[in-house]
Amino acid sequence: MILDQIRLDRPTSGLQRLEGRFGGHAYDLHRHETYGIGLTLYGVQQFHYRGSLRASRARQVLVLHPDEAHDGHAGEGRAFAYRMLYLDPASVSRALDGASPPHVAEAVAHDAAMARVIEEAFVDFPQPLEPLAIDAAIGRLADLLARRGDCGPHRKRGSVALRAVRLAREFLVAESHRIVGSDELERVSGLDRFTLARHFRLAFGTSPHRFQVGQRLMRAQALIVEGIALSEAAAATGFADQSHLTRHFSARFGVTPGRWAALSRPS
């Protein structure tokens, strides 16, 4: 028997995460003032939406628009689990240089790019997302919504603001011992956070958040080689605890911090 469960974090900077599982009825008809962008993990998630019954199966992504009524229940006699990002339309508009939030006609689809964004947002759930990770998720989802929606032609790609992104990069390297805030990068670069993220990716092939996490991990790696305890290395590089460091370290280097410590000891 499936035990129904919901886990929800607090909305932060235009983004909120929810993880749930249900064996039958989940929600009565309701609506949100945000986008709901979700990934079905297993089973069949059915919901009434825009006058018809929809179904999202494992690995499918659903996009629900602000102020659109919908419900939710398990379909075909199968329990389901899902993850959902609630995305503020104002943040989407800001990420699209002031354009109207896009309208996506297809409520359920196989969308590998959106699925990846959702999965990345839940890597440490319910640990709070870092500020630059929120910016990256909102910016990426806004672009993907625009690609699937009615925003018209994509923005023209102008020249890269090299001086601004170099200043941001140098700041991230210098501050590799801690989590950097979005407002700090805005002050350093002179660009708003979403413009900076686009130009940073054009210049360096990655987002400011990924770059900074990588810098913090390399710093942690060096501390571990010096014999610093894993819990102390985590604290010294802005990770909440040792398990938080371990998840990111393993994903970045392919080994756990403990194994790295063992491998790097002098023979």
Hey, where are the domains in the chain? 5-148, 157-267
Instruction: Domain 157-267: give its CATH code.
Output: 1.10.10.60
Q: Say if residues 92 and 146 touch (Cβ distance below 8 Å).
A: no
* pLDDT for 267: 58
* pLDDT for 84: 96
- Give the closest residue to 208 by CA, choosing from 235, 226, 231, 181: 181
What is the identity of the amino acid at 213? V
224-246: burial string, b at 16+ Cβ within 10 Å, e else? beeebebeebbbbbbbeebeebb
* pLDDT for 145: 96
> Is residue 64 packed enough to be buried (19+ CB in 10 Å), middle (13-18) or exposed (0-12)?
buried
**CATH architecture of structural domain 5-148:** Sandwich (2.60)
* pLDDT for 121: 96
Per the rule left: phi > 0, alpha: psi between -120 and 50, beta: everything else, 214 is alpha
Residue 102 to residue 148: CA distance in whole angstroms = 8
Q: Say if residues 208 and 196 touch (Cβ distance below 8 Å).
A: yes
Residue 117 to residue 87: CA distance in whole angstroms = 13
Extract the tokens encoding 29: 């008809």
Beta-carbon contacts of residue 165 (< 8 Å; ≥ 6 apart):
189, 196, 199, 200, 203, 204
* pLDDT for 233: 95
> Does pTM top 0.75 for this prediction?
yes
pLDDT, block means (10 residues), the chain with 267 residues: 83 91 90 93 96 97 93 91 93 86 94 97 93 95 92 57 90 92 96 92 84 91 92 94 92 87 77
* pLDDT for 33: 86
* pLDDT for 151: 60
* pLDDT for 93: 84
Extract the tokens encoding 93: 């508009």
- Give the closest residue to 117 by CA, choosing from 46, 181, 210: 210
* pLDDT for 230: 95
Rounded to 10 degrees, the C-alpha dihedral 200/204/208/211 comes to -170
* Sign of the CA dihedral with 255 first, then 7, 142, and 111 last: positive
* pLDDT for 253: 85
